[in-house]
Every structure is written in structure tokens, then in C-alpha cells.
Amino acid sequence: RKEVEQDPGPFNVPEGATVAFNCTYSNSASQSFFWYRQDCRKEPKLLMSVYSSGNEDGRFTAQLNRASQYISLLIRDSKLSDSATYLCVVAIKAAGNKLTFGGGTRVLVKP
């Protein structure tokens, strides 16, 4: 079983709609959580950190469920420019705070 698992998608989303997807992690010692965004043929870039109480950044909302060991990302009012692969990342202190990436969820926003 992979340490961090994501539905690869693609999620086909009409422009203006809401889309949400999850990421599950296997190591209960995971302590820090992030969402990255990767555009085609570009390097990954940090989208947002995920806090225990959940957090929002504009149209993006991230949630953490420690009991079920998953994090989620919700995108409201989807824009064409939101089309990308979204990577879930966890850090495990016991592993020297090594950051482990999921395989990514591809989102395609269409007009």
C-alpha cells in the first residue's frame, strides 16, 4: 500500500462548478499536510498548507480528518485556469520530516 494515495482522475468539471477530492495517508504519525499544484510539464508548486481545523484560501478549502487519515481539497467556482494535477503531500516527523507525495489528482475544467 502506498503511503499517500489519491484518485488519479481525471475529474472533468464544468466551469463555475465545485469539485472536491480526497487523499488518504497510511502513517498515523504524519504531522504536516500540504496541497501542491502541478501544471503540465512544470514543476510542482505549493498551493496551500492544511491545518487541523481546516482552512480556506479564496476559492480553495482544505480539510484534515486525522481519525480517518484523509485530507480533502475543495475548489469552488472552478476556473479554466484551475485545470492541473493536484498533489497531496504529508510530512512524517519520525522519518526526519521527509515529505511524501501522492500520485496526484488530475482536474480538467471545461467551458
- Applying CB under 8 A, the residues found at the interface with another protein are 31-32, 34, 36, 41, 43-46, 49, 87, 89, 91, 93, 95-104
Cβ burial of 100 (10 Å; 0-12, 13-18, 19+) is middle
Residue 78 or 85: the one with the smaller Cβ distance to another protein is: 85
Shortest distance, CB of residue 33 to another protein, whole angstroms? 11
4-6 and 55-57 strand pairing? unpaired
Shortest distance, CB of residue 60 to another protein, whole angstroms? 15
Give the cell for residue 95: 522519518
Residue 36 or 109: the one with the smaller Cβ distance to another protein is: 36
Closest CA to 8 of 22, 18, 19: 22
CB 50 within 8 A of CB 62: yes
Q: For residues 72 and 18, give the distance between their C-alpha atoms in angstroms, rounded to a whole number.
A: 13
Residue 2 or 14: the one with the smaller Cβ distance to another protein is: 2
Shortest distance, CB of residue 103 to another protein, whole angstroms? 4
Shortest distance, CB of residue 46 to another protein, whole angstroms? 4
Residue 58 or 111: the one with the smaller Cβ distance to another protein is: 58
